[in-house]
Chain A
Amino acid sequence: GAVVSQHPSRVICKSGTSVKIECRSLDFQATTMFWYRQFPKQSLMLMATSNEGSKATYEQGVEKDKFLINHASLTLSTLTVTSAHPEDSSFYICSARGASGRNYNEQFFGPGTRLTVL
């Protein structure tokens, strides 16, 4: 299957700082990328959907000015958590989807980024 990487895998930051998380599709062109947040013992919560070259679509309740998403190329999307606070501590996961074909709806997931805000 296709490979999606995330960087960093873990990050610890001070309250008030911004953190950028990268999501890369290594061997295919990802026209759509999804960003999730997951709290302990809970399911994945979709934060936003981004299509290459256009603005991300945020889910209800997700602050677009706090969680900045950029999908400037077919292989890279970034999530920036601005002015992070302890309540933003979570496991952030990205996934990518290709352009077409039988597996159009299949998502390829990154390994996740553990964010801890002190």
Chain B
Amino acid sequence: DAKTTQPPSMDCAEGRAANLPCNHSTISGNEYVYWYRQIHSQGPQYIIHGLKNNETNEMASLIITEDRKSSTLILPHATLRDTAVYYCIVRVARFGPGTRLSVLP
């Protein structure tokens, strides 16, 4: 039980912002929201995580709703190399199906 729901796939134009949603309506008060991505045939790569405040790093921004039941990962200027499967995780080590993001030229 991954406890998260994500759209199976999304497309984004190169250079535009990619907004990837995640629903985690049963998240517990002490559970963090983690985002990873996996490029084909590689191990997952950490992107960002947060508890209740919005977070930003060099890769992305994470927006968490006030009730913490959903979040959005934002890649501000998507490139072709951002094409990957993106996973939102709230329960340690449990991966859902993720979102397959295709960045199109």
- Interface, chain A (partner B; CB < 8 A): 1, 4, 6, 34, 36, 42-46, 49, 91, 93, 95, 97, 103, 105-112, 114
Residue contact A95 to B42, C-beta cutoff 8 Å? no
User: Which B85-99 residues sit within 8 Å CB-CB of chain A?
Assistant: 85, 87, 92-98
Q: A46-B94, A107-B92 are in contact. List 6 more A-B contacts (CB 8 A).
A: A43-B97, A93-B44, A95-B93, A105-B34, A107-B36, A109-B36
CB contacts (< 8 Å) of B95 on chain A: these are 36, 43-46
Which residues of chain B come closer than 8 Å to A6, judged between CB atoms? 43
Known A105-B32, A106-B34, A106-B49: A112·B43 in contact at CB below 8 Å: yes
Among A91, A108, A110, A111, which residue has its beta carbon within 8 angstroms of that of B46?
A108
Instruction: Please report the C-alpha to C-alpha distance between residue A112 and residue B43 in the assembled complex, in whole angstroms.
Output: 6
Closest chain-B Cβ to A90's Cβ sits at a distance in Å of: 12
Q: Nearest residue in B to A93 (C-beta to C-beta)?
A: B43
Residues of B within 8 A of A (CB): 32, 34, 36, 38, 41-46, 49, 85, 87, 92-98
* Contact call B44/A44, Cβ cutoff below 8 A: yes
Q: A106-B34, A106-B49 are in contact. Are A46 and B43 (CB under 8 A)?
A: no
Residues of A within 8 A of B36 (CB): 107, 109
Is A111 a contact partner of B42 (Cβ separation < 8 A)?
yes
- Within the assembled complex, what's the spacing in Å between the Cα atoms of A73 and B101? 38
Residue in A46, A91, A103 whose beta carbon sits within 8 Å of that of B41 in the complex = A91
Q: How far is the CA of A114 from the CA of B43 in the complex (A)?
A: 11
Are A46 and B93 within 8 A (Cβ)? Answer: yes
A4 to B87, CA, bound (A): 19
List, sorted by A's number, 30 A–B pairs whose CB atoms are closer than 8 Å: A1-B46, A6-B43, A42-B97, A43-B87, A43-B95, A43-B98, A44-B38, A44-B44, A44-B87, A45-B95, A91-B41, A93-B43, A95-B43, A95-B44, A105-B32, A105-B49, A105-B92, A106-B46, A106-B49, A107-B36, A107-B92, A107-B93, A108-B46, A109-B36, A109-B43, A109-B44, A109-B45, A111-B42, A111-B43, A112-B41
